[in-house]
Every structure is written in C-alpha cells, then in structure tokens.
C-alpha cells in the first residue's frame, strides 16, 4: 500500500477563489453561515475567521473521509462550527433539525475535493474519480449511496448510458461509447477505471479523439455526475435555500463545468427574491491558476436575498 508522504491534505489543499468568495459573502460577527460543501474545511475556516468572535458555520459534507480530516482542522473553532453529514440538497430539513430557521449566507464549492483526486496516492484506496491508476469504479462521494458507477456501467441500458454521456459529459461520441461498453460487458464485468478508460477510447475512432484531453475524460465526468445525482442536488438547493436566507444574505456558488454554471445562473435569475451581484461570473486570477491548476475552470456566481 502506498505510504502517506508529505504533506498532509490540510497543508496541500488550497481553497479556490477564497478572497473573492469572502468579498461576496461578507461574513460578520454573530452571523450564521452554511458551507454546503465543507470538503477539507478551507472555506469554512476562512469564514469562521471573518465572522469571529461569535459567528457560526453549519458545514454540510456527505463524505465520511473528508469529515475526519476537516474535524481535525476545524477543532480550534469549538462549537462555532457544526459539521452535518448530510446531502446539501436536504438543507431545509438539516437546518430545521438544528433549530435554525434562517441563515445569513450560504456558499457552495462544487468541484471534487483534492482528497477525491489524490486519495489513491495518499491512502492507497481510490474510488475511481481519476483514471490515472487502476482503481475500482465506485465514484460515490457518499458511500451510503446504493449505486456505484460500476453498477451503472454494468447494468444500465445502452440508451441510458448514451444519454448520461451526452447530457452530463457533453460527449459527442456518446452512442458509440455506450455501444462499446455494452459489447465489452458481455465478455467481462467492467470493474476498474483502467478497463473503462480503455473501452471508452477504443470505441471511438482515433480521428475523433479530443486533442487536449484523454478520450475518456467526459465519460468519467458524466458518470460521476450521474452516480452522485449532482445536478438534482444542485437543483434542490437552488430551489430550497433562498427562502432560508435572511434579507441581505448572500448565496455564493463556485462551479467547475458549464452545466452547473448554467443552472446556477438561471436559478438566480429566475428567482424573484434573489438579485445577482453581477451578470458575469468571477473567475480566478492568472496567479491563482498558476499556483493551483484545479482552479482553472472555476466560476463564482453570487446573489443577494431581497
Ligand atoms: C471542492 S470540495 C470543497 C472544498 C472546500 N471548499 C474546502 O475548502 O476544503 C467539494 C466537497 O463537497 C462535497 N459534496 C459534493 N456534493 C455534496 C452534496 N450534495 N452534499 C454534501 N456534500 C457534498 C464533496 O464530498 C467534497 O468534499
């Protein structure tokens, strides 16, 4: 099993668009904020620093491994932070259960965490988010969910797989790849990222392979979105969070692909109780992208509760 080497996750992780999101959220003393995607706690800690001494953060996170790491990092904030192992789509019930009727701001940072992308090298037990190494095709961020990516790939009908690749991955070769998967799984169960990456790229003639990314990149993105119901969760929080916001509270969301960015944009614009802070999303500076290549596709949109 690979050894954990330097540095630990808490040290290597850099929260994306940190100053920008704080400038939009404007945390203040005595406020109650929700971080819907706590991850390793980088944004949560920064909000807690800004809303001290009495402001609080309710941090939603559904991944048990992320919670273990974040708990250590956030221990110094004591009961100013409350970690809730729950899907952010359940924000309404989650806050009701804590006896909190309204909040002063909400953030979402929707990408994969560095834990998900690096966990193979750190813990030796990856979940198949990256196809760099041969990992089990799991992709569940919350291991309580019943269906893994492998379940989907081995059981879904060709049409369902093609729709997933086309709509969630914007993959133009969706039908070819779905057909390739159905043929391959008749021979042998598809259980690893390596198998799937080879099948997906083998199903598409070389002349149609993308130039800048691996031929299976969009298939992996699409499967992850489907396995975790990512768009349904985003739709739920865009619908259910605005009524929970106090007037003047901000809803700030960082997304990493165009499907999510579009949903956030229209979720804000179509809600008469929310006013966008700006029409255009905020993107990271060149310096941030150089320091943290994962920030490259990030877009921040924020809206204020009227
Ligand atoms: C990009 S990371 C967040 C990183 C975090 N802002 C930080 O500074 O460490 C996204 C996190 O959100 C979690 N997540 C994604 N969708 C979720 C959902 N529907 N409910 C709860 N947590 C979710 C993932 O497990 C992941 O840990």
Question: Looking at the 3D structure of the chain, how many domains does it have?
Answer: 2
CB of 62 closer than 6 angstroms to any ligand 1 atom: yes
User: Residue of the nearest CA to atom 14 in ligand 1?
Assistant: 37
CB of 111 closer than 6 angstroms to any ligand 1 atom: yes
Distance 185 CA to ligand 1 centre (A): 32
CB of 94 closer than 6 angstroms to any ligand 1 atom: no
Does the residue 267 lie in any domain?
A: yes
Distance 5 CA to ligand 1 centre (A): 24
**Greater confidence, 88 or 115?**
88
Q: Are residues 16 and 108 in the same domain?
A: yes
pLDDT band at 127 (very low <50, low <70, confident <90, very high): confident
Distance 179 CA to ligand 1 centre (A): 33
Give the structural domain span for 176.
127-228
CB of 89 closer than 6 angstroms to any ligand 1 atom: yes
pLDDT digits (tens, 9 = 90+) for 36-48: 999 999 999 999 9
pLDDT band at 134 (very low <50, low <70, confident <90, very high): confident
CA atoms lying within 13 Å on the CB side of residue 60: 24
Q: Which of 113, 142, 230 most suits a substitution to test ligand 1, by most atoms within 8 Å of the C-beta?
A: 113
pLDDT band at 7 (very low <50, low <70, confident <90, very high): very low
**Greater confidence, 139 or 121?**
139
What is the chain's mean pLDDT, rounded? 92
Taking the CA of residue 142 as reference, the ligand 1 atom at the shortest distance is 25
Q: Are residues 269 and 178 in the same domain?
A: no
Does the residue 121 lie in any domain?
A: no
CB of 13 closer than 6 angstroms to any ligand 1 atom: yes
pLDDT digits (tens, 9 = 90+) for 245-280: 999 999 999 999 999 999 999 999 999 999 999 999
pTM: 0.93
Q: Are residues 80 and 92 in the same domain?
A: yes
**233, 62 in Cβ contact below 8 A?**
no
Q: Which among 228, 257, 283 is the end of a domain?
A: 228
Q: Which among 209, 228, 247 is the end of a domain?
A: 228
Mean pLDDT of 162-178: 97
Taking the CA of residue 229 as reference, the ligand 1 atom at the shortest distance is 19
Q: Are residues 110 and 240 in the same domain?
A: yes
Q: CATH number, domain at 202? A: 1.10.150.170
CB of 127 closer than 6 angstroms to any ligand 1 atom: no
pLDDT band at 119 (very low <50, low <70, confident <90, very high): low
Mean pLDDT of 188-207: 95
Taking the CA of residue 45 as reference, the ligand 1 atom at the shortest distance is 8
User: Residue of the nearest CA to atom 5 in ligand 1?
Assistant: 39
Distance 37 CA to ligand 1 centre (A): 3
pLDDT band at 11 (very low <50, low <70, confident <90, very high): very low
């Amino acid at each position: 099993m690979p050894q954990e080497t330097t540095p630990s996750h808490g040290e290597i992780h850099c929260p994306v668009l940190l100053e920008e999101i704080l400038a939009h959220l404007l945390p203040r003393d005595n406020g109650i904020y929700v971080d819907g995607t706590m991850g390793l706690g980088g944004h949560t800690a920064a909000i807690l620093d800004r809303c001290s001494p009495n402001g609080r953060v309710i941090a939603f996170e559904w991944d048990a491994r992320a919670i273990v790491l974040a708990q250590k990092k956030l221990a110094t904030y004591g009961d100013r932070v409350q970690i809730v192992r729950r899907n952010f789509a359940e924000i309404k019930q989650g806050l009701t259960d804590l006896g909190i009727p309204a909040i002063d701001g909400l953030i979402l940072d929707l990408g994969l965490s560095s834990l998900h992308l690096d966990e193979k090298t750190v813990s030796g037990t990856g979940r198949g988010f990256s196809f760099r190494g041969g990992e089990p095709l799991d992709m569940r961020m919350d291991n309580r969910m019943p269906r893994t990516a492998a379940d989907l790939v081995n059981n879904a009908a060709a049409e369902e797989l093609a729709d997933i690749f086309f709509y969630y991955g914007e993959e133009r070769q969706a039908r070819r790849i779905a057909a390739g998967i159905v043929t391959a799984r008749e021979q042998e169960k598809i259980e690893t990222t390596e198998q799937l990456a080879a099948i997906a790229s083998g199903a598409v003639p070389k002349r149609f392979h993308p130039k800048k990314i691996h031929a299976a990149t969009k298939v992996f993105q699409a499967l992850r979105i489907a396995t975790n119901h990512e768009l349904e969760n985003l739709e739920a929080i865009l619908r259910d969070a605005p009524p929970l916001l106090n007037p003047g509270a901000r809803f700030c969301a960082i997304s990493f692909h165009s499907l999510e960015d579009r949903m956030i944009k229209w979720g804000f614009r179509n809600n008469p109780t929310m006013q966008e802070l700006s029409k255009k999303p905020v993107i990271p500076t060149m310096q941030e992208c150089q320091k943290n290549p994962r920030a490259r596709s990030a877009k921040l949109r924020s809206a204020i509760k009227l």
